[in-house]
Amino acid sequence: MLTHLRELADAHELLYSWTLRDFKVRYSQSLLGAAWAILQPLSLMIVFSLIFTLFIRVPTDGVPYPVFAYTALLVWTFFANSLSMAMPSLVNNINLVSKIYFPREILPIAANLVSMIDFVIAALTLALLMMIYKIAVGWTIVFLPILLIIQVVFTLGVSLAISAINVFYRDVRFVIPLALQIWMYLSPVIYPASLVPERFQPLYFLNPMATLIESYRRVIFFNQPPDWLYLGITTVMTIAVTIVSYHYFKRAERLFADLI
């Protein structure tokens, strides 16, 4: 594991170039360019706001619905896009993977980094929205970096496993979009977690994305620290998932060139 990490550290310049390449390629020849990073969560936010404030009233504990939903959509879009981009990252670069050696995790990690750039751009819009709605943040905002780190590491862990599995079973391509859709409804993206019946909550918060999104809302809107028990469980799960995934990835890596 350590040798792998050292090798990865040696290849940081490749990671940088590859991320830059992915980012440039992603928006080259697209009319709106990086604006898509904002448009994607923004348009969903508008649709959800219409549905859940006009048609069905969803309680948001006093937070304006658009900001309430946009926060979760930001987190969710980063997660979902990272996965969707990381998943085919190895298979799409057959030529490279089967001909030249470099630490292969560069490819899914670069996919995550690109989606992180999108995330940062979209997050700036959240700041703007909050100013428009005149929402002030409290001291609990200091917990934000912890949440970000857990979120990024968790996303990376899942991405590594999915990109490797996709080399062996192309079914993953069909499974992931479906799984992401279901997963989104199982996370408090369009509704507050408080709607989940009390007795189901321990089960509900075993979903790291649910804990993360709920924690973001607490530290941003309600000036409350995260629920440390649930966040602790999520952290442990994140570390476990990432270590297992990376280990699996490096073992599977030896077979990539033979199978792709």
Residue numbers at the binding site for another protein (CB under 8 A): 11, 13-14, 16-18, 20-21, 24-25, 28-29, 95-102, 168-172, 254, 257-259
Burial group, residue 257, by CB count within 10 angstroms (0-12, 13-18, 19+): middle
CB contact at 8 A, 86 and 176? no
Q: How far is the CB of 180 from another protein (least distance, A)?
A: 17
CB contact at 8 A, 97 and 256? yes
Our CB check for another protein shows the closer of 76 and 249 to be: 249
Our CB check for another protein shows the closer of 3 and 28 to be: 28
Q: How far is the CB of 149 from another protein (least distance, A)?
A: 26
**Cα–chain center distance at 124:** 17
Q: How far is the CB of 260 from another protein (least distance, A)?
A: 8
Copy the structure tokens of residue 91: 């298979």
Our CB check for another protein shows the closer of 57 and 99 to be: 99
Copy the structure tokens of residue 22: 């992915």
CB contact at 8 A, 192 and 59? yes
Residue the block writes with tokens 């990109």: 163
Q: How far is the CB of 14 from another protein (least distance, A)?
A: 4
CB contact at 8 A, 11 and 103? yes
Copy the structure tokens of residue 134: 């005149």
Our CB check for another protein shows the closer of 117 and 237 to be: 117
196: left (phi over 0), alpha (psi -120 to 50) or beta: beta
Sign of CA dihedral 246, 252, 254, 258: negative
Q: How far is the CB of 162 from another protein (least distance, A)?
A: 13
Our CB check for another protein shows the closer of 95 and 195 to be: 95
Q: How far is the CB of 103 from another protein (least distance, A)?
A: 10
Our CB check for another protein shows the closer of 237 and 260 to be: 260
